Amino acid sequence: MSEKIKMVNLSTFDMAETLNTKEDIADYLTLVLEEGDMSEFNHALNVVARARGMTAVAAQSGLTREALYKALRPQSQPRFDTIYRICKALGVRLVGKPIEK
């Protein structure tokens, strides 16, 4: 007979803990972008920034730590130049590709 696992004994999954390389980060952000939900992309940027360290990402992007948190909080709508600076600090580039039909 198998033993039942209680929900309280399960660890919480944190995507940030799985993003170990720039390739992992690029793949994750690409998948989220392909879904077309910009609020989810904003959340994904938050996850990746946490994986890399918010303080380091803020410094590399030229944003204050508070501005980075504000830009990546749920329901925020950061300007494109802010997203661009964050992506550059994360070591990824947004690339335009033709939409396949």
Per-residue pLDDT tens over the stretch 43-83: 999 999 999 999 999 999 999 999 999 999 999 999 999 99
Q: For the domain made up of 20-90, give the CATH fold.
A: 434 Repressor (Amino-terminal Domain) (1.10.260)
Tell me what pLDDT residue 84 has: 96
> How far is it, in rounded angstroms, from Cα 82 to Cα 47?
16
Query: 19-41 burial, b if ≥16 CB within 10 A, otherwise e?
Result: beeeeebbebbeebeeeeeeeeb
Phi, psi of 86 (to 5 degrees): -65, -45
Q: How many CB atoms lie within 10 A of CB 98?
A: 5
> Rounded CA gap, 10 and 44, in Å?
23
Domain limits of the chain?
20-90
